[in-house]
A and B are shown apart, each in its own frame.
Chain A
Amino acid sequence: MENQIFQLQYAIDTFYFLVCGALVMWMAAGFSMLEAGLVRAKNTTEILTKNVALFSISCIMYLVCGYAIMYDGSFFLSGIQGGETLVADALAASAENGFDGDSVYSGASDFFFQVVFVATAMSIVSGAVAERMKLWAFLAFAVVMTGFIYPMEGSWTWNGADVFGMYNLGDLGFSDFAGSGIVHMAGAAAALAGVILLGARKGKYGKNGEIHAITGANLPLATLGTFILWMGWFGFNGGSVLKLGDIANANSVAMVFLNTNAAAAGGLVAALIVARILFGKADLTMALNGALAGLVAITAEPSTPSALGATIIGAVGGIIVVFSIITLDKIKIDDPVGAISVHGVVGLFGLLVVPLTNDGSTFVGQIVGALTIFIWVFVCSLIVWSIIKVIIGLRVSEEEEYEGVDLAECGMEAYPEFTSSK
C-alpha cells in the first residue's frame, strides 16, 4: 500500500513537472508575439525566424551537452530513461525521503522542464538585438549560450557546484527560486553585451544625440505576447516548486501561482501610472513591460511573500522598468523591446528582495550570486559576440537595414503586397 502511494506521488509530481514544462514552452510563443509586435513590419519575418530557430537550437544544444554540464549528467542524455532498477530505486528514494520529503520524479521530465528555461533565457536576447543583427550571427551565438554559457552558471546555482572551485553560492546564502538572475538577468547580460557591440538601430539617435522613437508595428500582437508570457509564467514559477504530491507542497504551489499573478498585476498598474505621469498619456508598451517586470521581480522568490507583498514587489518592478528603459535610451543602449530593463535590471531587483521574505538567503549571497552570474555571462558573451563579429559580422548593411531584414535575411515579407505568381 505504501509503495502504491509512493508510485502515485511519483506519477503526480512527474505529470505536474511536464505540464509546467509545456506551459513554459508556450512562453516561446509569447516572446515571439511580443517581439513581432514591437518591431517594425519590415522586420517581422526575421524576428519570428529567430524565435523559432533559437527555441529549437536551445533544445538541441541542451540535449547534446547543456544538461550534462549543468547537472553532471552524461552527454546526449544517455541513460536518462533510467535503468532496469528504476522503479525500485525511485521507491527506495521515496521511502528514504518520506512522503513529504524531497521530490522524486522522472529524469526525463526534469530535462524537459529545464530545457524550456534555457530557451527562455535565449529568447530574451533576440528582442534586444532586433531589427539590425544578422540572423546567422545570432543563431551562432545561441549555440554557445545554450550549450555552454548558461549551463555553467546554472551548475553553480541550481546544481550547487563550486564556482571554478573557489566558492559556493549556496553556502553564501544565494537563493533564486525560479531564475530572476539565473535565467532572466543572464539573458539580459548576454543581450547587453550584444547590443554594445552591435550599436543602435539606424535613425534611433539624431546627429545631436536626440532620441527618436521607432514605433512598434503591431500592438495587438505585443499584448497577446504579454498575456501568453503571463500564463506561461505559472509554469515557470509554479513548476519550480518541483513537487506537488502532498498538502504542504500543494499549498506552496498555489501560493506561487497566486503571487506570480499578483506581481504581474502590480507591475502593470504601476508602470501604467508612472507612464501616465511622465508622458501625459497611457503608454501601452510600458504597461506591458510593467507586467513582465512584475513577473521577473517575483520569480526569485514567489513562495514566501504574502499576496500583498508580491503585489508590491511586482509594482516596484513595474516602476523600475519604466525609468530603466528611459535611462538606457538616454545612454544610447538601443533595446527595441526593453528586454535588458525588464529581465536584467528588474531581475537584479528580484534577487535583492529575496532576503526580505526568505530567511534562508542573505544579502551578501544575493549580491555575490548576481555579480557572479552577470560577470560570467556578460564577459563570455562579449568574447563570443566579438569572435562572431570578426568572422561573419554582427550587423546587416545600412541598405539592408533600411529595406528591412525580412528581405535581406529571409527573402520574404511578413505582409507581402503587389506580388504576382507566374
Chain B
Amino acid sequence: MKLVTAIIKPFKLDVVREALSDIGVHGMTVTEVKGFGRQKGHSELYRGAEYVVDFLPKTKVEIAVKESDLDSVVEAITKAANSGKIGDGKIFVSPLEQVIRIRTSETGDQAI
C-alpha cells in the first residue's frame, strides 16, 4: 500500500477530486496548507511598504491506495492538477505500513 500526498493549487481541488472519483478512489483527506517550491513567494505593497509573502496557500490531498492503483491515481492527479504554470505543486509517494478501518477493524487492502 502507498500513501499519495499531493500538494496542488487550491483552485484545482475540484478537478482533482472528480478525476479521482472517476477512477474509483473512494476517500481522501484534504488540508489547507502553506508553502513554497521553485515558485518561491512574492512581494506585495501595503501602504507603500513592501512585504513578502513567503508561503503561498496550497491544498494538500492525501490518498491511501493499493499498490495496483498507484499509477492510475498519480496519473489522474498529474493530469488534473496541471495548469502548465510554475507552482502547480508536487506528488509524494511513500510506503504505507498498515491501514485499519475503525468501524470493522478490517486491515490492509480491505480497509482502503
A interface residue numbers (CB < 8 A to B): 211-216, 275, 278-281, 283, 285-286, 322, 325-326, 329, 338
Contact = CB atoms under 8 A, between A and B. Distances in A.
B51 A329 contact: no
10 contacts: A211-B50, A213-B51, A214-B51, A215-B51, A280-B45, A283-B47, A285-B47, A325-B47, A326-B48, A329-B48
Contact of B49 (A275, A280, A329, A338): A329
Contacts of A285: 46-47
Nearest to A322: B48
Contacts of A325: 47-48
Contacts of B48: 275, 278-279, 283, 286, 322, 325-326, 329
Given A212-B51, A213-B49, A285-B47, 9 more contacts: A212-B50, A213-B47, A213-B51, A215-B51, A279-B45, A281-B44, A285-B46, A286-B47, A326-B48
B91 to A, nearest CB: 31
Contacts of B50: 211-213
A72 to B, nearest CB: 43
A70 B4 CA distance: 74
A322 B51 CA distance: 18
A283 B45 contact: yes
Chain B, interface SS category: strand
Interface string B24-61: 00000000000000000000111111110000000000
Which of B45, B47, B48 has the most chain A CB within a 10 Å cutoff? B47
Nearest to A336: B47
A318 to B, nearest CB: 14
Contacts of A215: 46, 51
Contacts of B45: 213, 279-281, 283
Contacts of A211: 49-50
B88 to A, nearest CB: 25
A275 B49 CA distance: 12
Contacts of B44: 213, 281
A275 B48 CA distance: 8
Contacts of A216: 46
Nearest to B48: A326
A283 B48 CA distance: 9
A281 B47 CA distance: 10
B98 to A, nearest CB: 30
Contacts of B47: 213, 283, 285-286, 325-326, 329, 338
A291 B47 CA distance: 15
B53 to A, nearest CB: 10
Contacts of A326: 47-48
Contacts of B46: 213-216, 283, 285
B96 to A, nearest CB: 29
Contacts of A283: 45-48
Contacts of A212: 49-51
A286 B46 CA distance: 9
A211 B47 CA distance: 11
A299 to B, nearest CB: 23
Contacts of A286: 47-48
